[in-house]
Amino acid sequence: MAYSADPTLSGVASELSGVGLWAPLAAWEHEGSSAAAAGELESIGFEALWLGNGAGLLAQAQRLLEATARITVATGTAHLATHSPAALADAHARLSARHGRRLVLSIGGAWAPAADHPGRAGYALMAACLDALDRTDPPVPAQRRMLAALGPKMLELASRRACGAHPYTVPVAHTRLARRILGPDSRLVPEVKVTLERNPDRARAIARRTLAVYLEKGNYAANLARLGFARPELRAGGSDRVVDALVAWGGPEAIRRRVDEHLGAGADQVALQLLTDDPDGRLPRDGYERLAAALRSAPPLAGGGAASG
């Protein structure tokens, strides 16, 4: 795909470039043949498949790795409340032995268990998880793990203890800030929500159904507040300004522009989550084909990726 960058950085998950796809775990589990879907997405040029959190995340990652030959499969994100360091390390060891460097573990959710451990902040929980991954036999190397980092402290931790960051539900302004904090030697892969709906009212309604779940959570609200969005703007799925910053809508051309903006702000790869009005939450495979065609026809972005930070 035209957006692929030259992966010249040493000591990081250099395969993370171009454009990937992010989908909730339930969408993959709903799919009649997730293996066929994964093979199709690999064949039309996407660089990575990012899987949302859930109890079956690691098993689904294995199925997708077995169904494909080259594409990166990444957890987006394995929450600490759902996956122990031991389980993550075991999956990494088994799947890496079979599939080489195609598995990347993005780890997050430290804010959730922190509510049940008032004496330990989310930062401390994440640091403890990384310590445990360092001690496993074999260890999970920093080059194969990322953090679902939003705030400055967690981004700084990602720059030191992982190959980079996979922020979720973020505008371009966050990508620019994250690149400054991470520095040039870390990978940055923001998840970016998009919809192919061109009608403004329908597009924003589709976006708000998903955003409402996240804008009510303290970590996402705090992150957007740092970026200049007032708390009242986050109510009821977000104001038009919030929606338009977090979700690209208006057809393939608009999505191409948003991808360009994130890459220009310092992202190495953009993980697109395609939102639709399908009540069953299935994988939007027709939409993926339209996205792939639009992205293939786009000229390469000069100066994108880590080197542009």
Structural contact between residues 258 and 301, judged by C-beta atoms closer than 8 angstroms: no
Dump pLDDT digits (tens) for 91-122. 999 999 999 999 999 999 876 544 444 444 68
Task: Cite the DSSP H helix spans in the chain.
Answer: 25-30, 34-43, 57-67, 85-99, 111-114, 122-135, 152-161, 172-182, 200-215, 218-226, 240-246, 252-264, 285-296
Count of residues in the chain? 309
What is the band of 300 on the pLDDT scale with cuts at 50, 70, 90?
low
Name the pTM for this structure.
0.90
pLDDT at 53: 94
pLDDT at 102: 95
**Average pLDDT of the segment spanning 131-145:** 96
Dump pLDDT digits (tens) for 39-96. 999 999 999 999 999 999 999 999 999 999 999 999 999 999 899 999 999 999 999 9
Dump pLDDT digits (tens) for 186-204. 999 999 999 999 999 999 9
DSSP character for 187? E
Please give the mean pLDDT across all residues of the chain: 88
pLDDT at 252: 86
pLDDT at 26: 92
Cα gap 89→140, rounded to integer Å: 6
What is the band of 255 on the pLDDT scale with cuts at 50, 70, 90?
very high
Could you tell me the domains of the chain?
18-193+268-304 (3.20.20.30)
**Average pLDDT of the segment spanning 140-154:** 95
